[in-house]
Amino acid sequence: MSPVFDCRDDEQLLPGMRQARQAIGRGQLVVLPTDTVYGVAADAFSPVAVQRLLDAKGRGRQSPPPVLVAGAATLRALVAEVPEAVEKLIEAFWPGGLTIVLPAQPSLTWDLGETHGTVAVRMPADRIALELLEETGPLAVSSANLTGEAPAITALDARDMLGDSVAVYLDAGPSRDGISSTIVDATSLVGGETPVVRVLREGAVDRARLREVLGDLLEPDPGGTA
């Protein structure tokens, strides 16, 4: 059975992080804590690893995983352009529970699935996740659950669903709030005729907070009010 490392215990943290790095390097999957829910991670630049992630979740290529990064500098290397409004979102909500979809850098050689030339990127506010990202580089990360099931809020929840399809489980206790990240689509800010930021999924960051930063660039709220 795949090992579970209690990262609250210093004696387990170091070997757990080492095995997690090695697993990512071999194209295997790792479950890790984030500030939202637990995630299952793969090397974003390994098509085999990304497919392994999709298979573990029972998910098709039409649902490509987001990419977690250790900072805004990595985001800039992954996307074609970072508009001023997105810079404001990063300043306000990163690290944290906001995933931003932008056109991907065309020169990147990766295969996350049917992305239609975009990539969804987030910087998590979790020490263990950030330390691993610093070591591995960008990771394709999706919520650590089978498709159709509730996102895992503990490492053991994730293991119950994903089992030995994951090589290493990093346990940092229950997720702080158990709420998935908010996902916004900012692709139309890059060369779009009608620049607008759309909310694809409302989660940890609500629309009111987004509107404080974006103003009229945020799509109208459901019901037709701004």
Place 191 in a pLDDT band, splitting at 50, 70 and 90. Answer: confident
Q: Are 89 and 37 in contact (CB under 8 A)?
A: no
Enumerate the β-bridge partners of residue 143.
Answer: 39
Inform me whether the pLDDT recorded for 219 exceeds 80. yes
The whole-angstrom distance between residue 151's C-alpha and the CA centroid of its chain comes to 13
pLDDT above 70 covers a percentage of the chain that reads 98
Reported as type and span, the H/E element at residue 41 is: strand 39-43
Place 128 in a pLDDT band, splitting at 50, 70 and 90. Answer: very high
- Mean pLDDT computed over every residue of the chain: 95
For the stretch 39-51, pLDDT in tens is 999 999 999 999 9
CA–CA separation, 40 and 142 (whole Å)? 6
Tokens 């990771």, residue located: 139
Domains detected in the chain: 4-217 (3.90.870.10)
Q: Which amino acid is at 170?
A: L
CA–CA separation, 124 and 145 (whole Å)? 18
Phi, psi of 20 (to 5 degrees): -65, -45
Inform me whether the pLDDT recorded for 93 exceeds 70. yes
For the stretch 97-110, pLDDT in tens is 999 999 999 998 89
Inform me whether the pLDDT recorded for 88 exceeds 90. yes
CA–CA separation, 207 and 123 (whole Å)? 19
Inform me whether the pLDDT recorded for 133 exceeds 90. yes
CA–CA separation, 86 and 100 (whole Å)? 8
Cis peptide before 95 (omega within 30 of 0): yes
Q: Identify which has the larger pLDDT, 167 or 192.
A: 167
- Give the tokens for residue 37: 């829910």
Place 222 in a pLDDT band, splitting at 50, 70 and 90. Answer: confident
Average pLDDT over residues 102-121: 93
- Give the tokens for residue 124: 């998590």
Average pLDDT over residues 56-70: 95
- Give the tokens for residue 154: 């503990």
Positive or negative, the CA dihedral 179, 5, 57, 107 is positive
Average pLDDT over residues 83-101: 98
For the stretch 175-184, pLDDT in tens is 988 899 999 9
Place 224 in a pLDDT band, splitting at 50, 70 and 90. Answer: low
Average pLDDT over residues 150-171: 97
- Write the CB contacts of 75 (distance below 8 Å, at least 6 apart in sequence): 69, 82, 90, 100, 121, 123
What pLDDT is stored for residue 177 in this prediction?
A: 81
Inform me whether the pLDDT recorded for 223 exceeds 80. no
What pLDDT is stored for residue 80 in this prediction?
A: 95
Q: Which of 42, 209, 61, 212 is nearest to 137 (CA)?
A: 42
